Structure 1
Amino acid sequence: MRTGTERGARPALAALVTAIGALLIGLLTAIPGASAATLFGDDFEGGDTAGWSRSGGSWSVVTDGSRALRQSGTSADARAIVGAGWTDQAVQARVKPISFNGTGRNVAVLARAQSTSAYYYLGLSNAGSVVLGVRNGGGLTTLASAGASVATGTWYTLRLEVFGTTLRGFVDGVQVVTATDPTFSSGRAGLAGHYAAASFDDVLVTDVGGPTGSPTPTPTVSVPPGTCATSGSPIGFASVNAWGRSGTTGGAGGPTVEVDTASELIAAIGQSGPLNICVRGMITVPAGMYNVASDKTIVGVGAGAGISGGGLNIGLPIDDAVTTPPANAVNNVIIRNLSFRNASDDSVNVQMFSHHIWIDHNDLASGYDGLIDIKRGSSYVTVSWNHLHNHTKNMLLGHDDGNGAQDIGRLKVTYHHNWFNATPQRNPRVRFGEPVHVFNNYYYYNTDVGVACQANAGCVVEGNYFDRAEEPVTNSYAGPAGRCVARNNVFVNESGQPDCSGTVQEPGSYYSYVLDDPNSVKSLVTAGAGVGKI
């Protein structure tokens, strides 16, 4: 069956297209924003590949249960594209991997294809993952990936949605990856076997809902007063007027929505425009990092809300060649009152010049990598009143000793009133940032190091309470030395002493703040840090 490119389709075939479109709508009712005006469909029952443009490989229609399009060679990068210059589109197909030639190969569906060498793709890789990426004339560039069991001889349904700069990938009806990328704004649909053989069937291209291609937002709900604190303002660097922003307001001015499923949450955080997102209950998401768009407040309802299994990514895809803040850097995001557990990577990651971010009153534990990592030129961030525990590699600020081109003059971050509870190291571990302001935090049983200031970073560490902290503050922990000023701190129960030298910019030249008496910090922070306290 073929529509969208073929004139004079017989009524029976047209009816079948409509039926498949209707079935798709039914299958996707759980996916926010799924809309189903059919743009193209092909089930290959006609026995030919008319309308398809092919490059590489060996393509033919075979019988594989029903008739299907087979790409049988594994020695080439094979692609087939079809259709018109669609803007916001969802490309879906049943895909059965047959064999792979080498490692890191994939079979994929394509969207916004400009040609057989320029497109977005969602693929099943023999590396044991689902990959979402872009190709623009050269090799494949991964934008996001998630672990998956990929077996040859098994049918999977892949669906790649593209709307605006947002990309979402689904496997068998479950969203597993998401990313943002501005490379292509429209194009055709397609299929690919990247040095891999596969069968493809039931190709269906539909539009993506909304007048501008954005997903249909979760309906606005009335949230009881006091249960979803969407108001509030940070102190510290997130409050500073810089980089074209005056402070951090998150979703202020936008609607308020409530989410309680993974698909609702992932769709909401990726929408464009200001939005207040109230998270109800502990939501388990598929493994991976999920992109947060600018102008979002994400806040838990009560003390039992959070995210398990994956994490939040605030920032554009990594690009080491970019050394100045891009105009489209993610900014103005607030994350509050959420518990994070068992993240497959970072619990919260801030990267690629993201700015004006406030991470406040969360409970973070038992992740795979960092609990809160801030890197690659990001700046004007406040991390406050969080309870961090049951985790070793706690927080990075700046990821690599050699990343000065992106980081020098940036990574301006305030950490205040956090409870570093038996977190051995990276509390935080700092590179290049100046000034990094660490004040009124409670450190308990940190068996390696508290604040490690290196790679010429400049840290002001003041008014903190160190309790059984082996090496509370140092600028000679590992790698190139930094600079630090430690003042007015309390050290008890066999805590070490600061190892600091050098001069550092004063945070007070950027913003106003008032120090709590460091002797009261333990009681203040243990009573006030974490969830259910705002």
Structure 2
Amino acid sequence: MRRTSARFKLVSAVAVVAAAATMGGITAANGTAAEPTADVGTLAVGTPTGFGAGTTGGAGGRTVTVSNASDFIAAAGSSERLQIQVNTTINLSSMARVTSNKTIIGVGTSGRINGSGLNVSNASNVIIQNLSFTNSNDDGINVQYSTNVWIDHNEFSNPNDGALDIKRASTGVTVSWNHTYDSDKNMLLGHSDSNASEDVGKLRVTYHHNWFDGVNQRNPRVRFGDPVHVYNNYYNDIGSYGVASTENAGVLVEANYFEDTEDPFHLGEGSSDDGRLVARNNHFVNSGSGQTGGSVASIPYGYSADPAANVKSIVMNGAGTGKI
């Protein structure tokens, strides 16, 4: 079931920004000012379900529209509460840091981050929505030492490393309605077997309604987090494996649609010890049955899972940019 919370029309927010000709903008590193800004409620569409619930990003802060890398980097790294609209391709040469209380949202289908990605580091309350991440020389998005993060309705393709990595004591994250393709090491949760001191009790992440489209592995690969909730995702033509639970993680794999996926989920991976994994109500088409074992902590929030047999059509019609 699609989210039923109130939706704010992006086009209305754009009109508000355009009308605010007298408002000042962020001054970029090159001394130029971004386009006019205004105070609005929120540009983010919908509200997050799962561990990232309550994330509001830059809601209540000024809105700035950026159209070049220097303006984008200045706004994303600002100490100010901001809502940042991206209406073109931003070409980055290295990872751009995102600080607390930010909403970064693409306009229509024109918002694109190319060449490198975003580093959400030591931050709280961040929304990244409706952007295409292409050809990163690192990750598409890296989240570390951060809480209350919502990553929603984005597209990821051809990263040099991971499409979306979450690590180093990050927690309270929802990853929803994203479309990933042309990716090998897709989504990592927990970067190292030796990082238990930081990660145990953290790395609580919800992955729902994502389209893992012909990607190879790490969808996600999980260390330490318990519970991690993977539900209502569509997996097709997965090369190596879907979900891996390692290093005593607890992963609930629920009501997903696996198609042409020989290894949908398993315990352990590489040199990492086994985690725990519970699977229920999944749908399999020309796919293996997966490996389970152990128990997983109870999911501490309310949610309504779509029937697994309906997930393919729901996700294909709703995931990615331009679908909010």
TM-score (norm 1): 0.54
* 1:342-381 paired onto structure 2 within 5 Å: 342-352=135-145, 354-381=146-173
Quote the Cα distance in structure 2 between the aligned partners of 1:496 and 1:441: 16
Once the 2 structures are TM-superposed, how far is the Cα of residue 504 of structure 1 from its aligned partner? 0.5
Once the 2 structures are TM-superposed, how far is the Cα of residue 304 of structure 1 from its aligned partner? 2.1
Instruction: Write out per-residue CA displacement over residues 379-407 of structure 1, whole angstroms, 9 at most, x where no aligned residue.
Output: 00000000000111101000111110110
Once the 2 structures are TM-superposed, how far is the Cα of residue 220 of structure 1 from its aligned partner? 3.0
Equivalent position to 2:278, from 463, 478, 485: 485
Quote the Cα distance in structure 2 between the aligned partners of 1:289 and 1:504: 35
Equivalent position to 1:250, from 57, 71, 78: 57
Instruction: Write out per-residue CA displacement over residues 476-526 of structure 1, whole angstroms, 9 at most, x where no aligned residue.
Output: 333200000000000112x1112011010111xx21100101100000000
Match of 1:435 in 2: 227
Bigger relative contact order (CA 8 A; separation at least 6): 2
Equivalent position to 2:295, from 503, 516, 520: 503
Once the 2 structures are TM-superposed, how far is the Cα of residue 32 of structure 1 from its aligned partner? 1.6
1:291 aligns with 2:287: no
Cα contact 2:38–2:62 (8 A) shared by 1: no
> Which secondary structure does the structure 2 equivalent of 1:367 belong to?
coil
Cα contact 1:462–1:488 (8 A) shared by 2: yes
1:269 aligns with 2:265: no
Once the 2 structures are TM-superposed, how far is the Cα of residue 378 of structure 1 from its aligned partner? 0.3
Match of 1:157 in 2: none
> Which secondary structure does the structure 1 equivalent of 2:149 belong to?
strand
1:232 aligns with 2:46: yes
Instruction: Return the index of the structure with the highest Cα Rg.
Output: 1
Q: What value does the CA root-mean-square deviation take over the aligned residues?
A: 1.9
> Which secondary structure does the structure 2 equivalent of 1:491 belong to?
strand
Match of 1:17 in 2: none
Quote the Cα distance in structure 2 between the aligned partners of 1:443 and 1:289: 28
Cα contact 1:389–1:420 (8 A) shared by 2: yes
Q: Taking every aligned residue pair, what percent have the same amino acid on both sides? A: 51
Residue type of the alignment partner of 1:308: N
Residue type of the alignment partner of 2:70: S
Quote the Cα distance in structure 2 between the aligned partners of 1:34 and 1:498: 53
Match of 1:387 in 2: 179
Quote the Cα distance in structure 1 between the aligned partners of 2:91 and 2:29: 20
Quote the Cα distance in structure 2 between the aligned partners of 1:531 and 1:229: 15
CA gap 1:440/1:231 in 2 versus in 1, 3 angstroms: closer
Quote the Cα distance in structure 2 between the aligned partners of 1:398 and 1:511: 22
Higher strand content, 1 or 2: 1
Match of 1:407 in 2: 199
Quote the Cα distance in structure 1 between the aligned partners of 2:124 and 2:279: 31
Cα contact 1:251–1:275 (8 A) shared by 2: yes
Residue type of the alignment partner of 1:263: S
Give 5+ residue unaligned stretches, structure 1.
1-30, 36-215, 240-246, 316-328
TM-score (norm 2): 0.88
Instruction: Write out per-residue CA displacement over residues 274-319 of structure 1, whole angstroms, 9 at most, x where no aligned residue.
Output: 1000000121122x1111010000000001211001110011xxxx
Residue type of the alignment partner of 2:235: Y
Match of 2:16 in 1: none
Instruction: Write out per-residue CA displacement over residues 414-449 of structure 1, whole angstroms, 9 at most, x where no aligned residue.
Output: 000000000110000000011000000000011211
> Which secondary structure does the structure 2 equivalent of 1:310 belong to?
coil
Instruction: Write out per-residue CA displacement over residues 35-65 of structure 1, whole angstroms, 9 at most, x where no aligned residue.
Output: 6xxxxxxxxxxxxxxxxxxxxxxxxxxxxxx
* 1:440-519 paired onto structure 2 within 5 Å: 440-478=232-270, 479-493=272-286, 495-507=287-299, 510-519=300-309
> Which secondary structure does the structure 1 equivalent of 2:312 belong to?
helix
1:529 aligns with 2:319: yes
Quote the Cα distance in structure 1 between the aligned partners of 2:46 and 2:313: 23
Give 5+ residue unaligned stretches, structure 2.
1-26
Once the 2 structures are TM-superposed, how far is the Cα of residue 33 of structure 1 from its aligned partner? 5.1
Cα contact 1:472–1:497 (8 A) shared by 2: yes
Once the 2 structures are TM-superposed, how far is the Cα of residue 217 of structure 1 from its aligned partner? 6.3
1:340 aligns with 2:172: no
Match of 1:190 in 2: none
Match of 1:118 in 2: none
